[in-house]
Amino acid sequence: MNVHPILKKTMSLVTPDMHSRRRCALTDAIDSLLNGASATVTALGRGIASPAK
């Protein structure tokens, strides 16, 4: 089962008034946690698959 589409749909239902970029950042951080990153700011940032540095 692919968790990412479920997470994305749930986040849009739970946070309808949140700005889309902030929702995307929060979803990426949660996805990073689900992929095994520890719950620190540095680990969450390193766990996000993005070309941004």
- Asked whether the beta carbons of 34 and 11 are under 8 A apart, the reply is no
Reply yes or no on whether the pLDDT at 17 is more than 80. yes
Residue 53: per-residue pLDDT: 54
Domain ranges (residues) in the chain: 3-45
Residue 30: per-residue pLDDT: 86
Reply yes or no on whether the pLDDT at 1 is more than 80. no
Task: Report CA 4 to chain centroid distance, whole Å.
Answer: 9
Mean pLDDT of the region 15-30: 88
As a whole number of angstroms, the distance between CA 29 and CA 44 comes to 6
Mean pLDDT of the region 24-36: 86
Reply yes or no on whether the pLDDT at 40 is more than 70. yes
Reply yes or no on whether the pLDDT at 16 is more than 60. yes
CA distances from 20 to 27, 35, 36, 37 (A): 10, 22, 25, 23
